[in-house]
Structure 1
Amino acid sequence: MRIIAGEHKGRNLKAVPGKATRPTTDKVKEAVFQMMGPFFNGGNCLDLFAGSGSLGIEAISRGMKHAIFVDNQNKAIQTIRENINQLKIAERTEIYRTEAKNALRALEKRQLKFSLILLDPPYKKYAYEDIIRTILRMGLLEENGFIYCEHDAAYQMPPIEPDLTIVKEAGYGTIGVTIYQKGTVI
């Protein structure tokens, strides 16, 4: 697993040991970020269900100013810390070991807004639509911001809200990707 582009291009990242997480492949990561950017000019990123943190770290490498990583597994949190320390980007990150809904409530209280929210939960264990509606209700996604959903390729992500548009859907073997954007899409 490596960083595909940007400031830390080519650097290797550690994967979470064991089978509790499923790392996003380099091929998928490269294709997805090309769809959304491919580079960012600042902004905040939320990597919910972060695993190794590779998606949020890729966003930082491509120009995101700050990223918050959330996972509820100790091994994942340890791996994220190791990856962030190796790249010397700790000052641009926050890491939390908690359930996703608890993290969203805490972020709402802080009145944070994100230009990119990454959702890659364990397949079939979370209702994507509920999480996305919660994010929108709490006002966590800024205007023109993206929500990236990685899911089982057999699952068809639905339209969710009138001001949240599906801008890209793609399949990569058993992995499906759906990208939503808030606001008027040009």
Structure 2
Amino acid sequence: MKVIAGQFRGRPLVTLEGKTTRPTSDKVKGAIFSMIGPFFDGGRVLDLFSGSGGLGIEAVSRGMSEAVLVERDHRAQKVIQANIKMTKAENQFKLFKMDAKRAMAQLVGPFDLVLIDPPYAKEEIVKTIIALEELHLLSKNVMIVCETDKAVLLPEEISAFGIWKQKSYGISKVTVYVR
């Protein structure tokens, strides 16, 4: 695993051994950013259920100004901290060491890009998007990127958002919601 493009391009990312997290493959990560960008001119990214932090780091590498990474697993938090240190741009990252629900209650928006890859996809994604909207954490032009198993069927609409793009890559499916 490595950073694919931008400022940190080619730098290796540490991943967590075992089944605690499911790191997004470089192929899927590249496809996600091709769908939504591929580069940005500033903005804030929220990477919920962050795992190794690879998606949030990739977003900053591609031009986002700041990434907020949320992860409750202690071993994954150490991996995220090592990956943030590798960027040598630690001031562009903030790690919330808690579950997503607790973190959302403490976050200050707005966020321009939200990355959601939860362990129990469908139920968690719907609840999370509704909560983010109710807490006024999303910018007017936010893109919400959800990564799931390809068998998961997400609703066409969640709150004020509808599916903009959706594509399967091997066993993964990427769904992008916009207002």
Query: What amino acid is the match of 2:26?
Result: D
Q: Secondary structure at the match of 1:131?
A: helix
Pick from 161, 165, 169: which aligns with 1:168? 165
Question: Is contact 1:17-1:75 (8 Å) kept?
Answer: no
The match for 1:128 is 125
The match for 1:6 is 6
Query: What amino acid is the match of 2:174?
Result: V
Question: Is contact 1:51-1:71 (8 Å) kept?
Answer: yes
Shifted more, 119-128 versus 65-74: the winner is 119-128
- Gaps (5+ residues) in structure 2? none
Query: Quick check: 1:88 aligned with 2:88?
Result: yes
- Gaps (5+ residues) in structure 1? none
Q: Secondary structure at the match of 1:127?
A: helix
Question: Is contact 2:129-2:158 (8 Å) kept?
Answer: no
The match for 1:42 is 42
Q: 1:139 Cα deviation (Å)?
A: 1.2
Q: 1:163 Cα deviation (Å)?
A: 3.5
Q: Secondary structure at the match of 1:68?
A: strand
Identity %: 44
Question: Is contact 2:130-2:159 (8 Å) kept?
Answer: no
The match for 1:148 is 145
Q: 1:159 Cα deviation (Å)?
A: 2.4
CA–CA distance in structure 2, aligned partners of residues 125 and 168 of structure 1: 17
- TM superposition score normalised by structure 2: 0.95
CA–CA distance in structure 2, aligned partners of residues 59 and 97 of structure 1: 20
Deviations 1:127-147 (A, max 9, x none): 211111111111111011111
Alignment of 1:60-75 (within 5 A): 60-75=60-75
Q: Secondary structure at the match of 2:157?
A: coil
Q: 1:161 Cα deviation (Å)?
A: 4.0
Deviations 1:64-118 (A, max 9, x none): 00001111001111001001111112100101111111000111xx3x2100011
Q: How many residues were matched structurally?
A: 179
Alignment of 1:8-27 (within 5 A): 8-27=8-27
CA–CA distance in structure 2, aligned partners of residues 116 and 124 of structure 1: 18
CA–CA distance in structure 1, aligned partners of residues 157 and 39 of structure 2: 26
Q: Secondary structure at the match of 1:3?
A: coil
CA–CA distance in structure 1, aligned partners of residues 120 and 33 of structure 2: 21
CA–CA distance in structure 1, aligned partners of residues 171 and 134 of structure 2: 31
CA–CA distance in structure 2, aligned partners of residues 81 and 91 of structure 1: 12
Query: What amino acid is the match of 1:157?
Result: L
Question: Is contact 1:47-1:68 (8 Å) kept?
Answer: yes
The match for 1:31 is 31
Instruction: Please tell me the root mean square deviation across aligned C-alpha atoms, in Å.
Output: 1.4
Q: Secondary structure at the match of 1:177?
A: strand
CA–CA distance in structure 1, aligned partners of residues 19 and 158 of structure 2: 34
